[in-house]
Amino acid sequence: MPTWRSRRDEARLRRHAAELAGGHGVRTRAVVADLAAADGPGHAVRSTIAQLGRVDVLVNNAGASPFGSFDRISDDQWSAAFELKLLGYVRCIRAVLPGMRAQRSGRIVNVVGMAGHYATSGYVLGALNAALLHLTRSVADLVAQDGITVVALNPGFTATDRLTAALSVLAEEAGTDLATFSDGYLAERVPLGLRGAAGDRGARRVRLLAALRLPDRHLDRRRRRRRAREVLTCRHGAR
């Protein structure tokens, strides 16, 4: 399974690519691109296709908008977040769709975040998460007939530096210290006290979503017949 990863930190990117290749026995290619630039996603996809032949799965996971309330976020911060987190996803999807449509298959996973569902005063740029959820549904409805699935993943509270940064901003705005604020905030929103741990859980969920198959009603007649033969073969083989 060829694997493509794109980010601007070249040394870290190549290290991740080597870890994937060594740990999972896959071919990997590291493509350096600025996904906030107009042609960054196009360059990344063209380079990937030139080296690996095609794109079967796109995982959009670029961008981390700064935390802050409406009063604190400047026009420049709005513009930068829009270019990377929203337009970055849009441009990546736009770049892979022609190839996925031509091969009549593809999987697109947009990693978004819970802020798309739950607004808070301390993270006004979460509005872009809501836009990404709308984008996901809109594109999913558009390309289902082409054999392409588009889904969103909204990770919950996970013990990462980003969560600490978010809680620090909220604590400051509430006029209290981080430890006191965190205990109350998380207890209210995570009744069982179970928080995600940084590691491979998110990656496993992405792999699961990338493996989703479209219901038969979205497939053309020829592909429905082929799937029916696959099911029949499996049933016969099980006897």
> Quick check: helix, strand or coil at residue 213?
coil
Long-range CB pairs of 174-182, under 8 A, 24+ apart, other chains included: none
Tokens 């980003």 belong to residue: 162
- What is the distance between the alpha carbons of residues 175 and 184, in angstroms, rounded to a whole number? 14
- What is the distance between the alpha carbons of residues 159 and 227, in angstroms, rounded to a whole number? 42
Catalytic residue, candidates 89, 118, 123, 185: 123
Please say whether the beta carbons of 92 and 109 come within 8 A.
no
Q: Where are the beta strands (DSSP E) in 33-186?
A: 57-60, 106-111, 148-153, 158-159
Residue 237 CB neighbour total at 10 angstroms: 7
123 is catalytic: yes
Beta-carbon contacts of residue 36 (< 8 Å; ≥ 6 apart): 63, 80, 83, 84, 87, 88
- The catalytic residues are 123
